[in-house]
Amino acid sequence: MSFSRHSRRAILKEQNILLHLSLFAATLLTTIAAGVFWAGAAISFTTFTTFTTSLQPGIPYALSLLLFLSVHEFGHFFAALHNRIRTTLPYFIPLPPLPMLLGIGTMGAVIRIRERINGSSALFDIGAAGPLSGFAICLGLLLYGFLNLPPAEFIFTIHPEYIAAGGLPATPPEGTLQLGKNLLWLLLENTLPTRNLPPMTEMYHYPFLFTGWLGCFVTALNLLPVGQLDGGHITYAMFGKKGHRTAGRIVLTLITLLALPSLLELAAALTPLIPASLLPTALLHLSWPGWILWVFILIRFIGISHPPTMNDHPISTGRTIIGWIAILVFILTFTPLPFSIT
Taking alpha carbons only, the member of 237, 236, 215 closest to residue 329 is: 215
Q: What digits encode the pLDDT tens for the residues 109-126? A: 999 999 999 999 999 999
- The predicted pLDDT at position 264 comes to 72
Q: In angstroms, rounded to a whole number, what is the distance separating the alpha carbons of residues 21 and 91? A: 9
- The predicted pLDDT at position 306 comes to 94
Q: In angstroms, rounded to a whole number, what is the distance separating the alpha carbons of residues 246 and 2? A: 30
Q: Around Cβ 244, how many Cβ atoms within 10 Å?
A: 24
Q: What digits encode the pLDDT tens for the residues 257-304? A: 888 877 777 666 666 665 555 555 555 567 788 899 999 999 988 888
Name, in order, each residue with C-beta under 8 angstroms of 208's C-beta and a sequence gap of 6 or more.
60, 64, 141, 142, 144, 145, 148
Q: In angstroms, rounded to a whole number, what is the distance separating the alpha carbons of residues 241 and 273? A: 43
Confidence of residue 82 (pLDDT cuts 50, 70, 90): very high
More confident residue, 301 or 92: 92
Contact present, 274 and 267 (Cβ < 8 Å) = yes
- The predicted pLDDT at position 175 comes to 79
230, pLDDT greater than 80: yes
More confident residue, 85 or 100: 85
Contact present, 129 and 65 (Cβ < 8 Å) = no
Helix, strand or coil, per DSSP, at residue 87: strand
- The predicted pLDDT at position 98 comes to 76
- The predicted pLDDT at position 226 comes to 95
Q: What digits encode the pLDDT tens for the residues 9-19? A: 999 999 999 99
Q: Which of 58-67, 69-78, 333-342 has the lowest mean pLDDT?
A: 333-342
- The predicted pLDDT at position 2 comes to 42
Q: In angstroms, rounded to a whole number, what is the distance separating the alpha carbons of residues 39 and 210? A: 11
Q: What is the mean pLDDT of the chain?
A: 90
pLDDT, mean of residues 156-177: 82
pLDDT, mean of residues 72-96: 96
Contact present, 122 and 309 (Cβ < 8 Å) = yes
pLDDT, mean of residues 139-163: 92
Q: In angstroms, rounded to a whole number, what is the distance separating the alpha carbons of residues 239 and 120? A: 10
pTM: 0.92
